[in-house]
Amino acid sequence: MDNLQPASNGIIPKIAIVGYGRLGKALARALSEVEDVLLAGIVAHKLDNVERNGYRGFSSIGELPTDIGMVILAVPDSSLAGCGVDVSNWIAAKQQRVVAAHTAGAVSSEVLEPVRAAGGYALAWHPFQTFTGREGWESFQGITVGLEGDDEAVVMGMALAVRLGAKAAIVPPETRVFYHLAAVFGSSLMVALLEVAVDLLDRGGFTRAEALKTLRPLVDKTLANYHERGFFGALTGPVVRSDAATVARHLQALDDFPNLERIYSLLSRELLKRLPPDRRFDELATLLTKTPDR
* Predicted confidence (pLDDT) per residue in 254-267, tens digit: 999 999 999 999 99
- At 10, the pLDDT band (50, 70, 90 cuts) reads low
The CATH number of domain 185-289, selected from 3.40.50.1860, 3.90.950.20, 3.90.550.10, 1.10.1040.20: 1.10.1040.20
Which residue intervals of the chain bear CATH 3.40.50.720? 14-175
Is this model's pTM higher than 0.95 or not?
no
Assign domain 14-175 to a CATH class.
alpha beta
pLDDT, one tens digit per residue, over 107-154 is 999 999 999 999 999 999 999 999 999 999 999 999 999 999 999 999
CA torsion through residues 172, 70, 163, 130, sign: negative
Which residue intervals of the chain bear CATH 1.10.1040.20? 185-289
